[in-house]
């Protein structure tokens, strides 16, 4: 398993978009455009690959000076439970720290909270329903 940086022109980036759509938006019958926000083009994209095939993906965005957001983390369903999410999260966290992060945050689906806690993220505030997907989330923060 290898972690690589993706450019938005890479074929694997397009596969990552498909995976994000399939796992987060398709079942909710949301349009593909739902997954794009103002951070997409300026974000750092990471993929976990094996034999040139995409297995997992995550995105890191500097939202404001030294405040980074991790988002859109996905793992192929048949690869879940093998530590890929942890590896992608660790890589994204290290990238944020290398770029001077004083705070890193993410909005976690409730079932994934324990994975994020193991890597130093703490729940912040109450759970909420995501506006676009209607799925319960909670903000989690790691301060440096």
pLDDT tens for 15-41 read 999 999 998 888 888 889 888 888 999
Distance CA 83, CA 87 (A): 6
CB-based contact 84:47 (threshold 8 Å) = no
Domain extent, residue 139, equals: 2-143
**The domain spanning residue 80 has which CATH number?**
3.40.630.30
Distance CA 66, CA 53 (A): 33
pLDDT at 26: 87
Mean model confidence pLDDT for the chain: 93
pLDDT at 46: 96
pLDDT at 139: 97
CA dihedral 112, 116, 118, 119 (to 10 degrees): 160
CA dihedral 47, 52, 54, 60 (to 10 degrees): 10
Model confidence, pTM: 0.91
Q: How many domains is the chain built from?
A: 1
Q: How is residue 22 annotated by DSSP?
A: I
pLDDT tens for 51-94 read 989 999 999 999 999 999 999 999 999 999 899 999 999 999 99
Residue 13 has pLDDT above 90, yes or no: yes
């Amino acid at each position: 398993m290898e972690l690589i940086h993706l450019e938005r022109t890479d074929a694997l980036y397009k596969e990552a978009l498909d995976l994000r759509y399939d796992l987060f938006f398709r079942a909710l019958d949301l349009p593909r455009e739902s997954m794009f926000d103002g951070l997409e083009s300026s974000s750092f994209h990471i993929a976990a690959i094996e034999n040139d095939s995409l297995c997992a993906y995550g995105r890191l965005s500097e939202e404001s000076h030294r405040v980074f957001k991790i988002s859109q983390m996905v793992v192929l369903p048949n690869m879940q439970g093998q530590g890929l999410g942890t590896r992608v999260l660790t890589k994204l966290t290290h990238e944020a720290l290398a770029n001077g992060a004083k705070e890193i945050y993410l909005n976690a689906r409730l079932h994934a909270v324990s994975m994020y806690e193991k890597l130093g993220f703490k729940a912040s505030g109450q759970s909420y329903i995501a506006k676009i997907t209607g799925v319960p989330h909670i903000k989690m923060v790691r301060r440096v």
